[in-house]
Chain A
Amino acid sequence: MTILALAAFVGIGSFAAGLLGSLTGLGGGIIVVPMLIYVFHVDFRYAVGASLVSIIATSSGAAAAYVREGYTNVRVGILLEVATTAGALVGGALTGIIDPSILKILFGLLMVFTIYRSLQPRAEHEILSTPDRWAARFRLDSTYPTLEGRQHYSVRNVPGGFVLMFFAGILSALLGIGSGIIKVLAMDQLMRLPFKVSTTTSNFMIGVTAAAGAGVLLHLGYIDPTLAFPVMLGVLAGALIGARILSRANVKWLRQLFTLILVVSAARMLYDGITAVL
């Protein structure tokens, strides 16, 4: 294949991935990497580099829309970014050491977890009102918009959330993903932030985490300009258009398609990784 043909096909595929990722709210990175590996026969490391760069674009583009709505908790975001950026630097250093077959197994397991989480009903938990010691120390409690006006919420289990965020950072740089699923898990389940605050703050943090990892991958030579440009432009265009048509789209059908892609990719990743290791 020529560079022109590859750029065109990768661009179209990335556009579809960005569109699907933004419409389902599950992000594009987790399907961009398997697409590059299995459809375009790209080496795992080049795929991770190109995917991580595209994540910065979509996170920064989307975060702009969310912060204006007043859901994002900037203090929680910045505090936890200490953990995610440190994790991303560690993850970047580990990419050169860990065998890509092991990383494929890890990727497959994360996809299985993503499928599991996306199938669970999304119930809003009770909003806490009494501050925890760490939350008070770092003044993390805030308010968020509801139908009855801005409601106050408290944050708990800051150390637990911090540790989980460190691992989210490692996975982001190792696998070229935003690891939003783990970030939301830390904030929603452990720290008990309202769900909408968790998802918007996660999106706000993804770009910073990915930037830390991408800096390291750039120095390792994982970011190839010829491969990265169609991925970045395609995913960005797909995500921007996805955000515009979100209210009109049939999300249920798209989520099923996304789950199907994840199931097939996860099976392939796990099979490849395990057979290569054995």
Chain B
Amino acid sequence: MTQPEARWSDHAVEQIIGRLLQIGVLLAAAVVIVGAALLLVNHGASPASYSEFRGEPSELRTVAGIVRGAAAFHAAAIVQLGLVLLIATPIARVGFTLVAFILQRDRTYVWITTLVLILLLFGLVFGRGAA
């Protein structure tokens, strides 16, 4: 029987991580394209101006608000959902790296990777930065 250490070698882990990243980016891009098409059909002729910063409306700032908006088929929220999926891709990568270190029984790196994961989720879920 193969040892878990051998099966989950660093190189094998890297291969799976590489594939995971590609799938995540393609999925995110697909969702963004659907939302963008809808956005252009509905609002393509409206004037656009970004010279003054107004900030996004609150429902496009939080993961919960974006998911609700996308479920209601709002074009801007669907694009935003795609962007959230994109942000989630490297986070999923770190999550997978954590699983690999657990399988390798590498305690030091299980702790280090958990810390990175907590910092990332903190940014996406609470988004208050370090303030």
Contacts and interface: CB of A to CB of B under 8 A. Distances in A.
B29 A7 contact: no
Given A46-B50, A46-B53, A223-B80, A211 B15 contact: no
B76 to A, nearest CB: 5
A1 B44 CA distance: 10
A79 B89 CA distance: 19
Given A72-B14, A78-B97, A53 B83 contact: yes
A78 B116 contact: yes
Contacts of A40: 50
B10 interface: yes
A133 B83 CA distance: 41
B51 A86 contact: no
A82 interface: yes
Contacts, number: 225
Given A3-B48, A67-B14, A232-B32, A60 B25 contact: yes
B15 A67 contact: yes
Interface string B91-123: 101100100000000001100110110011011
Nearest to A212: B123
Contact of A57 (B19, B86, B123, B131): B86
Nearest to B84: A218
B45 A227 contact: no
Contacts of A211: 87-91, 120, 123-124
B56 A56 contact: no
Contacts of B123: 85, 88-89, 92, 211-216
A79 B86 contact: no
B71 interface: no
B21 A61 contact: yes
Contact of B48 (A2, A78, A214, A233): A2
Interface string B13-24: 111011101101
Contacts of A36: 50
Contact of B33 (A90, A139, A233): A233
Contact of B39 (A67, A74, A75, A225): A225
A4 B44 contact: yes
B64 to A, nearest CB: 12
B70 to A, nearest CB: 11
B87 A215 contact: yes
A124 interface: no
Given A229-B36, A233-B32, A3 B43 contact: yes
B44 A2 contact: yes
Nearest to B44: A4
A89 B84 CA distance: 17
Contact of B89 (A82, A207, A222): A207
A170 to B, nearest CB: 10
A132 B44 CA distance: 58
A242 B120 CA distance: 29
A68 B97 CA distance: 15
Contacts of A4: 40, 44-45
Interface string B37-57: 001100111111111110111
21 contacts: A7-B40, A43-B50, A53-B87, A60-B22, A64-B21, A72-B14, A75-B109, A79-B112, A89-B119, A211-B88, A216-B128, A216-B129, A218-B124, A223-B60, A225-B35, A226-B48, A229-B79, A232-B29, A232-B83, A233-B29, A233-B32
Given A56-B89, A221-B61, A225-B79, 5 more contacts: A60-B93, A67-B18, A82-B115, A222-B55, A233-B36
Interface of A: 1-7, 36, 40-46, 53, 56-57, 59-61, 63-68, 70, 72, 74-75, 78-79, 81-82, 85-86, 88-94, 96, 138-139, 173, 207-208, 210-216, 218-230, 232-233, 236
